[in-house]
Amino acid sequence: MGALSPEDDDIQASINVTPLVDIILVLLIIFMLTATFMRAPVVPVDLPRAANADEAKTKTFALVMDKKGTLYLDGAPSTERLVWKKLTKAFRRDKDIQAIVAADGSVHHRQVVRLIDLVRSTGISKFAINVRREDLKK
């Protein structure tokens, strides 16, 4: 604290940073705890590999089909009819949306084609197929 003495005209000031450090540490702990709860829901699938896989920069809708054939829209179980309704409604609002299609490697090709056809029937022409990157040099 600042103090004035009768024989010295200089003000001595000091700042106690201990409370500031305590507050910063508490905020850091709160941030670390809440960051673990804000993860996006993920459906575990075994993605097929492709040498020319691109990293998706933006994704609006994530469609996933697991090995049992269950369809998920943005991590929540869904049906083809519900997916079609939601994608059509979103496409009417914004013509620039895209969809990311992912399917387990054991899913039949017919089901993946049906899923892609479902996306295209809503009017969405921008879609990507999610795969894992694989090196062809073996």
CB 128 within 8 A of CB 101: yes
pLDDT of res. 5: 55
Domains of the chain as residue ranges with CATH = 3-37 (no CATH), 49-133 (3.30.420.270)
Nearest CA-CA partner of 102 in 62, 138, 135, 68 = 62
> Looking at this protein, which amino acid is placed at residue 116?
I
Strands (DSSP E) found in 1-138: 3-5, 8-12, 49-50, 61-65, 71-73, 76-78, 99-103, 127-129, 132-133
How, if at all, do strands 49-50 and 132-133 pair?
Answer: parallel
pLDDT of res. 40: 57
pLDDT of res. 39: 58
pLDDT of res. 57: 43
Those residues of the chain that have pLDDT short of 50 are 56-59
pLDDT of res. 82: 94
Express each pLDDT in 50-72 by its tens digit. 776 655 444 468 899 998 989 99
